Amino acid sequence: MGTAAGVVCAALNEPGFREVVARARASDTLDRVVAALSIDGPTVPTGLAADLALLERQLAAAGLDGVGAPPRGYRPMPGALGHPVVEVFRCPQGRCERIAAGPEATADPPRCGATGRPLRATRLPT
């Protein structure tokens, strides 16, 4: 579920994503997913996994596949090669596995597509 939530969260920041969702008649499902992702606290809201799966099926039926799953294949994290630690930005709610690579210091971190909150900086060993 975490990966699916991260893919949806990132897609929310893409221009036109909500319009595609509306054409797939999945706006109500997306709204429930966004509401669940926006709830504070470490507990995963009831129904989030089911709504993510439903959203995936609705979008796939409309010809948009892979929204609830990460792209396949290996891709090294940008900036991770040759460095003992890399700074990344993660979900501010801790609900998804989205990771956005970024410079070590930035005044404008990427934002969560569900909550609009800035992603939190985290240092990861490589």
Query: What does the block give as tokens for 99?
Result: 């990771």
* CB neighbour class for 49 (10 Å; exposed up to 12, middle 13-18, buried from 19): middle
- Whether 16 maps to a domain, the answer reads yes
In this prediction, residue 31 carries a pLDDT of 95
In this prediction, residue 27 carries a pLDDT of 95
- Whether 73 maps to a domain, the answer reads no
- Domain stop point among 46, 61, 76: 61
Query: What is the chain's pLDDT, residue by residue, as a tens digit (126 residues)?
Result: 567 888 888 888 888 889 989 988 999 999 999 999 888 877 778 889 899 999 989 988 887 766 655 555 545 555 555 555 677 888 888 878 888 876 655 667 888 888 888 888 887 766
**Are 55 and 17 within one domain?**
yes
In this prediction, residue 109 carries a pLDDT of 80
- Model confidence, pTM: 0.62
- Whether 12 maps to a domain, the answer reads yes
Structural domains in the chain (count): 2
